[in-house]
Each structure stands twice: as structure tokens, then as C-alpha cells.
């Protein structure tokens, strides 16, 4: 799964990299410890163009009676995303890309767990496949949320964790984001590709959501 990630790039850089036509109305502070229910950037496609929006991480289905379960829906499994009621509608019409510098996983080592940071080998932002939804509270307030789709990790990463975010190749961004394409999964909903990510151990400070800063992604012996 992906339960923590880093997102420190400026919105202007994300706008350029993801070929966004409409920049976000809200600017987020850089974060090296993005946690469930935090506000995050997401790339979406609307009739007016490709947008960089701010959503809350942890999907709340439009039919949900409340938003309390959002922290449990930060991930959607690739194998069931088309059919599971919480994600089915969003998969059909509201897919997004969630940019990240990289993400964290914890590997059991004896009685403890060692955190690792996983990032693109070339240093490019990760384009994590996601879904987004709009939910209206009983008070009439709207909440826009998202989730990250996960897939099986390639063998080289499997010893750290058996799941990894589903990454969308650049040449498939338009098809994945297009709300007129009801099922772009053919060739995209696949196991993780070997040779894309590097992984290195990092300090255990990342385990506390109150800790932040670039030191969290620095390798440790």
C-alpha cells in the first residue's frame, strides 16, 4: 500500500511537467510526510482543460452518509477498482494523477520495521494513478477527495512491500484522465514495472506525522 509520500515540488513545476492548463487556486506547502486526510495535489481532466486541483487524500464516496471512513480509503486495489462500490463510479468517470516525489514503505526487520523511500530512478515526479470524488455533507458543504490505486510490486521491491502505487506512463496520461473513456484499464491495470524505482532506507522520524522536512528522504546506513 501507499500510506505516506513526499510532495515537495512547486505547483508551477507540476503545471509544466503534467502539461496542465489551469493551475490550482490553492498553493500547498511542500511536504515530505504527506499523510491520510492531508490536502494534496491531483491532476484531473475537465471539459475546460487539464487542471491541477487540491483534494483531500482519502476517498469519500458520493453516497456515503459521512466522511469518517476517508482515512481507510487512501488506497484502492487495482484488482477490484472496477467493481468495488466505493470506487466503481469514480473509476468510470473521475480518474486522476497524484504527483509525488516518492513514497514510503516499512519493511519488517526482526522485531522492528525499517522505513524505505521509493522514487523514480531518473528523479522525475511519480504519476500515481488515482480516483477522485465529490461528497456533499448534510450541511450542504462539498468535499473533494481522492485515493491512490495500488498494484502488485515487482520482485525487486517485493521484499520491502508486496504492493506499490500504480504508475501511469506519460504516453497514457491523456487516456487515463479522459472522462469520456469509461475503462482505460487495458494495458494500464497491470503489475508494477521492474527497473522504474529505486529504494533506500531512511530514518524512522517519518513514522511521526508531525515530523517534516527534506531530511526524511535522506538515506541512512
Q: Which residues are catalytic?
A: 2, 105
The whole-angstrom distance between residue 184's C-alpha and the CA centroid of its chain comes to: 18
Distances (CA, A) of 219 to 117, 168, 170, 201: 8, 26, 28, 6
Q: What's 24's DSSP letter?
A: -
| Residue 44: strand pairing partners | 51
Q: What is the rounded distance in angstroms from the CA atom of residue 64 to the CA atom of residue 220?
A: 43
Q: How far apart are CA 30 and CA 138, in angstroms?
A: 33
Separation between Cα atoms, residue 109 and residue 137, nearest integer Å: 43
Could you give the maximum distance between any two Cα atoms of the chain, in Å?
53
C-alpha cell at 162: 508486496
- The contacts of residue 144 (CB under 8 Å, 6+ apart) are 53, 55, 56, 132, 133, 134, 135
Report, in angstroms and rounded to the nearest whole number, the Rg of the chain calculated over CA atoms. 17
Residue in this structure with the C-alpha cell 487516456, named with its chain if needed:
175
**Cα atoms in the 13 Å half-sphere on the side-chain side of 53:** 23
Amino acid at each position: 500500500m501507499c500510506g505516506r509520500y513526499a510532495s515537495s515540488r512547486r505547483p508551477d513545476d507540476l503545471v509544466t511537467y503534467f502539461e496542465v492548463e489551469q493551475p490550482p487556486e490553492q498553493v500547498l506547502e511542500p511536504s515530505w510526510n504527506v499523510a491520510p486526510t492531508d490536502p494534496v495535489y491531483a491532476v484531473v481532466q475537465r471539459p475546460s482543460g487539464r487542471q491541477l486541483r487540491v483534494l483531500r487524500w482519502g476517498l469519500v464516496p458520493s453516497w456515503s452518509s459521512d466522511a469518517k471512513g476517508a482515512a481507510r480509503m487512501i488506497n484502492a486495489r487495482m484488482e477490484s477498482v472496477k467493481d468495488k462500490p466505493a470506487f466503481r463510479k469514480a473509476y468510470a468517470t473521475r480518474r486522476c494523477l497524484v504527483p509525488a516525489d516518492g513514497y514510503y514503505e516499512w519493511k519488517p526487520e526482526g522485531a522492528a520495521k525499517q522505513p524505505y523511500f521509493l522514487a523514480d530512478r531518473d528523479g522525475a515526479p511519480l504519476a500515481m494513478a488515482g480516483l477522485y470524488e465529490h461528497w456533499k455533507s448534510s450541511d450542504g458543504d462539498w468535499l473533494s477527495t481522492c485515493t491512490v490505486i495500488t498494484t502488485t510490486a515487482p520482485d525487486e521491491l517485493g521484499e520491502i512491500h508486496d504492493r506499490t502505487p500504480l504508475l501511469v506512463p506519460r504516453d497514457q496520461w491523456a487516456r487515463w484522465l479522459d472522462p469520456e473513456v469509461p475503462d482505460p484499464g487495458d494495458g494500464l491495470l497491470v503489475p508494477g514495472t521492474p527497473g522504474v524505482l529505486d529504494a533506500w532506507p531512511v530514518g524512522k522520524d517519518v513514522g511521526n506525522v508531525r515530523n517534516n522536512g527534506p531530511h526524511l528522504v535522506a538515506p541512512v546506513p
